Every structure is written in C-alpha cells, then in structure tokens.
C-alpha cells in the first residue's frame, strides 16, 4: 500500500522543494502543483507533491497515520480519530448530488 505524507516546505526552486516531516528531509518535485512557498504544507506521494494542504488537513492525515500505527501495535488509537467518533459516514461532496440509476 502506498500512502501520501504531509510535509512542510523548507525551500523551493524551479520545480522542486526541500520538504520536512518529523525530522526527515527530502527533495520533492512540485511540477504537478506549481510553485510553493516556504511553510506551505504539501501531500507527498513517491517524492512528488500532489497538492497543497491546509494545517488542519495535514494534522488529520498525521493523526490517521499515527492511529493506524497504534492500532497495528495494539495501542489505544481512538483519540487519533476524534473527528470521526460519534459521526455517521458521509459521502464526499462531489458524490452527494449524483443520481444513481439501478441497472436492470
């Protein structure tokens, strides 16, 4: 399974950026999203910045990844999914208005 990681831009130049996540730094391509600024948060997948993230979304992704690791290690993880506790599942916004017709 491949997972995108939130990273913070430390520096940027022509089509790439030096990014950091939890002490690890790596150079990533920004060709898919264009120019980024120092301090921007980006979702990185296989050394490519896929899109910009706001601080809250980056935190939620980090919490989810930490929650998965905790669950796999048998540790408490529910607090890392606080945004999902006591909430009914919801379709993404782009699917809510689509009409589904039964096949028959």
The confidence score (pLDDT) of residue 74 equals 95
Element (H, E) at 60: helix 55-72
Q: At residue 53, does pLDDT exceed 80? A: yes
Q: At residue 6, does pLDDT exceed 70? A: yes
User: Could you report the per-residue pLDDT of 8-27, keeping only the tens digit for each?
Assistant: 999 999 999 999 999 999 99
Would you tell me how many other CB atoms lie within 10 Å of the CB of residue 31? 11
- Residue written as token pair 């028959």: 104
The confidence score (pLDDT) of residue 58 equals 96
Domain at 1-53, CATH from 2.30.30.140, 1.10.8.60, 2.60.40.10, 3.60.20.10: 2.30.30.140
CB 9 within 8 A of CB 33: no
CB 51 within 8 A of CB 61: no
Q: At residue 88, does pLDDT exceed 90? A: no
pTM above 0.85, yes or no: no
């Amino acid at each position: 399974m491949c997972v995108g990681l939130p990273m913070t831009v430390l520096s940027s130049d022509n089509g790439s950026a030096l990014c950091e996540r939890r002490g690890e730094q790596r150079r990533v391509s920004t060709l898919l999203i264009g120019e980024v600024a120092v301090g921007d948060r980006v979702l990185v997948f296989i050394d490519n910045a896929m899109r910009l993230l706001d601080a809250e979304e980056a935190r939620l992704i980090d919490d989810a990844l930490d929650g998965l690791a905790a669950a796999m290690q048998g540790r408490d993880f529910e607090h890392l999914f606080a945004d999902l506790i006591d909430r009914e599942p919801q379709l993404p916004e782009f699917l809510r208005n689509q009409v589904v017709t039964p096949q028959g």
